[in-house]
Structure 1
Amino acid sequence: MPKKSITNPIVVGIHSGGVWVAEKILAHIPTDEPLSTLDITFYRDDFSRMGLHPKVKQTVLPSTEDRHVILVDDVLMSGRTIRAAMNEIFDFGRPASISLAILYDLQQTELPIHADAVGEVIRLSSTQRIKLSGPHPLTGSVVESS
């Protein structure tokens, strides 16, 4: 796949772990834009199952109309979080492109979503999960689920 020519992108982190990873990525991306953040709580397809008191954080995003967006999250599992994030991004305009950067790809997607940049591919057993701690220092580990 040919590389995209992207100038002055908007780097967008999904709360919370994606924001932590996006902060690190932003330090290496040539852009004039500050870090943007998304809270996808109300865009999730399982919102009605989560109850009436979700922990909502702030979305800070400029117009995405004809802009290149680098969407960042910590873990790509089913792809549903990324789908919800893309829906929210389109509410701010129609971007020229969206590139996806992921710290950990679990390769368990249920939707046709793949990352353009991956920190590490990890295969977990059914009793394991990823635990991200941060933001300073930002660390990730595999832990046994209870």
Structure 2
Amino acid sequence: MNETAEHTIIDEMGIRRALTRIAHEILEKNKGVENCTLIGIRTRGIYLASRVAERILEIEGVPIPVGEIDITSYRDDRVKVKSVENVQEGGKIQIQDRKIILFDDVLYTGRTVRAAMDALIDLGRPQMIQLAVLVDRGHRELPIRPDYVGKNVPTSKSESIEVLLTEIDDKDGVMILQQRGKQE
């Protein structure tokens, strides 16, 4: 059977709190946001980075550049990404000698993050790359660890995580999906 059972693990308020906490942690770890750029991995990472940038603006009163990177073709076709797009103003974002905070919705095997880091490094030499994720579900295949985590959600390999964001899905939430009949 292809039926799935789902359970909400983070609601709208939980996502808001997690992103506010991540914003504070970024400010603390980097002693402000000077020389920082937030870059979201398309698609949901972009919206998470933008929301954190809004929180940082509310907290510090300082705008922070937000960019997006699409690694789909990078992973599948080995075609190189040519630039990081600025989501706020259009145009390109410079990453050379910048502190890059890379955003993704779910960290699982680490392969998406590795592809994004490869793409960023091909575009220039950031001062550093930090990783922020809304959900860390474990099961890493590569030695990648996030600097900022909204929520750690240990899962079995038969489970999956679905992140819903208002900008795409008309509501916020994180759900764990269990394939019926496929429990570990």
Q: What TM-score do the two structures reach when normalised by structure 1? A: 0.80
Identity of aligned residues (%): 34
Q: Does 1:119 align with 2:150?
A: yes
AA aligned opposite 2:127 = A
Cα deviation digits, residues 63-114 of structure 1 (max 9, x gap): 2110111100001101110010011111221000111001000121111110
Pairing of 1:1-146 with structure 2 (within 5 A): 3-5=29-31, 6-29=33-56, 32-44=63-75, 47=76, 59-60=84-85, 61-136=92-167, 137-145=171-179
How far apart are 1:18 and its partner, in Å?
A: 1.1
How far apart are 1:33 and its partner, in Å?
A: 4.2
Decide whether aligned partners of structure 1 residues 140 and 120 sit closer, same or farther in structure 2, where only a CA change above 3 A counts.
same
Decide whether aligned partners of structure 1 residues 4 and 106 sit closer, same or farther in structure 2, where only a CA change above 3 A counts.
same
**Root-mean-square deviation (Å):** 2.2
Decide whether aligned partners of structure 1 residues 8 and 138 sit closer, same or farther in structure 2, where only a CA change above 3 A counts.
farther
- How many residues are matched? 134
* CA contact 1:12–1:72 (8 Å) conserved in 2: yes
Q: Where does the alignment leave 5 or more consecutive residues of structure 2 unmatched?
A: 1-27, 78-82, 86-91
Which residue of the partner structure matches residue 18 of structure 2?
none
AA aligned opposite 2:172 = L
User: Relative contact order: is structure 1 or structure 2 higher (C-alpha 8 Å, sep ≥ 6)?
Assistant: 2
Say which structure is richer in helix.
2
How far apart are 1:28 and its partner, in Å?
A: 2.2
Q: Where does the alignment leave 5 or more consecutive residues of structure 1 unmatched?
A: 49-57
